[in-house]
C-alpha cells in the first residue's frame, strides 16, 4: 500500500487541503457565529470540523481505495449564517446539527431515504441552495459600500486569482485578507491577542433539542448537505470512473458528524471540488493509486485543525463585514451554479422561482424557517404544473 504513494498524490493532496480550507473557513466561522456561538465556541467548532474532514479523508480512501474526498458542509454553514437565531441560542443550533448528522446516518442505513432526497426535482434543490446562499453573497457588495478600503484589496486579489485559475481565487483573497488584517487591526484597543502557539480552547456545548430546531434547521441543513455536497461528490467520483458504494460512505461521514456535532461542528460530507482535483490525472497516472491524495489531504486537514484557535482569534480582529465579505466571495461560484440549475427547465420556472424567493427571504411561519417552506411550496407548484402539462 505504501508503494502506491507518489509525489503527484502528495502534491495534489496538500493543494486540495489548502484550497478546501482557505476557500471556506470564513463561511464556517460566519455560520457558527450567526447561530450564536462565542469566539471560543466558533474556534472549537472549526477545530472539530477540520478534524472530522481529516479523519474521514484518511479512513474512507484507505477502506475503499478510491479518492473519496471529504469536506465540511459549506452550504450548511452558509444556511446557518442566513438563518434566524433560535430561541435556545447556540445550544439549540447544536441540537439541530446533531439531528442533521443522525439523518445522514439513517440515510446510510435506509436507501429509500436517499432516494427521496434524489427524487426532489433538481431545479427545486438548486433553487433552495441558491436562496440559502444569496444573503451571504450580498456581503461583498455591502462591505464594499461600508469599508471600501479594506474590501478592495481582497476583491482585487480574488479577481486576479480568478483570471489566473479559478481555484486560486479564494486562496489569494485569503492572503490579501491576512495582509489587510496585519496593517489595519488595532489589537491595543480591542484587547485581542493572537498567540501563534495557542491550541484552541475546546468547549463542549450541551445541546438543546426542540421540534422547531429539527424542522427549521436540522432538516434544511440535511437537504442542502445532501443536495449541495454529497450527491455532487458521488457524481464526480463516478464521472472519473470510480465505482462508488454510497451507503457505507454516508454511514461513515454521518457517524463522524455525530461525534463532532456536540462540539458545535457542522456536518462533514463528500466533496465535489476537491474530489475533482484528486480523482484526475494530476494526482497520478494510475487511477488505482490516486486514493493516496485524499489520505494526504486528510493528514493536512488534521494539521490545519490545530490552527483553529489562531484562525478564529485573528478573525476576531477583523470587522464582521470583512469576514462575511470573504465568505460571500467563496460562495459566488456555488450561487452561479445553483441559479443556472434552478432555471434550466423553461417549462418549470415558477416553482424554482418561489422556492428561491422564499428561501432567500428569511421568513418564518409558525416558528419554522423559510428554507423548509420553500421546499413545500416549490414541490406543490411543481406537482400541480406537471399534472396540468400532462393533461
- Tens of pLDDT along 354-380? 988 988 887 777 767 777 788 888 888
The pLDDT tens digits of the residues spanning 203-235 come to: 788 999 999 889 888 998 998 888 878 888 888
Structure confidence at residue 190 (pLDDT): 46
> What's residue 265's pLDDT?
93
CB atoms within 10 A of CB 373: 22
> What sign does the dihedral 66-259-104-230 (CA atoms) show?
negative
pLDDT at residue 243 above 80? yes
pLDDT above 50 (res 191) = no
DSSP secondary structure, 193-261, as one string:
---TTPPP----------HHHIIIIIHHHHHHHIIIIIHHHHHHHHHTT----HHHHHHHHHHHHHHHG
To the nearest whole number, what is the mean pLDDT of the chain?
84
From the list 136, 45, 101, 107, the residue with the least C-alpha distance to 214 is 101
Please report which confidence band the pLDDT of residue 349 belongs to, taking 50, 70 and 90 as the band edges. confident
145: number of Cβ within 10 Å: 10
What tens digit of pLDDT does each residue of 88-137 get?
899 999 999 999 999 999 999 988 887 887 777 888 888 887 887 888 78
Q: Residue 76: is it exposed, middle or buried by C-beta count within 10 angstroms (0-12/13-18/19+)?
A: buried
Domain borders along the chain are 2-390
- Among 275, 256, 266, smallest CA distance to 220 is for 266
Give residue-wise pLDDT tens across range 9-45. Answer: 888 888 888 878 877 888 888 889 989 998 889 989 9
Query: Taking phi first (over 0 means left), then psi (-120 to 50 degrees means alpha), and beta for anything else, what does residue 121 get?
Result: beta
Q: Which of 140-154, 181-195, 349-363 has the lowest mean pLDDT?
A: 181-195
| Closest residue by Cα to residue 333 from 120, 177, 161, 178 | 161
Helix (H) or strand (E) holding 76: helix 74-82
Give the per-residue pLDDT at 194: 53
- Grid cell, residue 278, equals 484528486
User: Per-residue pLDDT tens for 320-334?
Assistant: 788 888 878 877 887
What letter would DSSP give residue 84? Answer: P
Which pairing describes strands 70-72 and 364-365: parallel, antiparallel, or unpaired? unpaired
270-299, pLDDT tens digit by residue? 987 788 778 878 777 888 888 899 999 999
Amino acid at each position: 500500500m505504501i508503494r502506491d504513494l507518489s509525489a503527484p498524490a502528495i502534491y495534489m493532496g496538500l493543494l486540495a487541503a489548502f484550497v478546501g480550507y482557505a476557500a471556506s473557513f470564513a463561511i464556517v466561522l460566519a455560520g457558527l457565529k450567526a447561530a450564536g456561538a462565542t469566539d471560543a465556541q466558533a474556534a472549537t467548532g472549526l477545530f472539530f470540523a477540520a478534524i472530522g474532514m481529516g479523519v474521514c479523508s484518511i479512513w474512507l480512501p484507505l477502506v475503499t481505495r478510491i479518492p473519496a474526498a471529504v469536506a465540511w458542509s459549506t452550504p450548511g454553514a452558509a444556511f446557518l449564517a442566513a438563518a434566524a437565531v433560535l430561541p435556545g441560542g447556540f445550544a439549540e443550533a447544536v441540537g439541530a446539527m446533531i439531528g442533521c448528522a443522525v439523518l445522514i446516518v439513517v440515510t446510510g442505513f435506509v436507501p429509500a431515504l436517499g432516494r427521496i432526497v434524489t427524487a426532489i426535482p433538481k431545479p427545486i434543490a438548486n433553487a433552495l441552495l441558491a436562496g440559502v446562499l444569496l444573503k451571504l453573497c450580498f456581503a461583498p457588495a455591502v462591505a464594499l459600500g461600508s469599508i471600501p478600503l479594506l474590501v478592495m484589496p481582497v476583491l482585487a486579489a480574488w479577481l486576479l486569482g480568478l483570471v489566473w485559475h479559478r481555484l486560486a481565487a479564494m486562496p489569494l483573497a485569503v492572503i490579501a485578507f491576512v495582509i489587510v488584517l496585519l496593517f489595519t487591526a488595532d489589537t491595543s484597543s480591542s484587547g485581542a491577542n493572537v498567540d501563534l502557539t495557542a491550541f484552541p480552547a475546546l468547549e463542549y456545548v450541551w445541546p438543546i433539542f426542540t421540534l422547531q430546531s429539527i424542522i427549521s434547521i436540522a432538516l434544511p441543513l440535511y437537504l442542502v448537505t445532501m443536495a449541495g455536497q454529497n450527491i455532487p461528490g458521488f457524481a464526480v467520483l463516478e464521472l472519473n470512473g470510480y465505482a462508488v458504494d454510497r451507503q457505507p460512505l454516508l454511514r461513515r461521514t454521518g457517524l463522524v458528524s455525530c461525534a463532532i456535532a456536540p462540539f458545535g461542528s457542522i456536518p462533514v460530507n463528500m466533496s465535489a471540488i476537491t474530489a475533482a482535483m484528486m480523482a484526475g490525472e494530476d494526482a497520478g497516472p494510475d487511477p488505482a493509486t490516486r486514493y493516496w491524495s485524499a489520505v494526504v489531504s486528510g493528514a493536512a486537514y488534521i494539521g490545519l485543525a490545530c490552527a483553529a484557535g489562531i484562525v478564529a482569534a485573528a478573525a476576531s480582529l477583523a470587522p464582521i463585514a470583512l469576514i462575511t465579505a470573504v465568505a460571500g466571495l467563496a460562495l459566488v461560484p456555488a450561487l452561479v451554479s445553483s441559479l443556472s440549475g434552478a432555471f434550466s427547465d423553461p417549462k418549470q420556472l415558477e416553482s424554482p422561482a418561489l422556492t428561491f424567493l422564499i428561501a432567500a427571504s428569511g421568513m418564518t411561519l409558525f416558528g419554522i424557517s423559510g428554507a423548509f417552506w420553500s421546499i413545500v411550496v416549490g414541490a406543490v407548484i411543481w406537482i400541480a404544473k406537471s399534472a396540468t402539462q400532462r393533461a
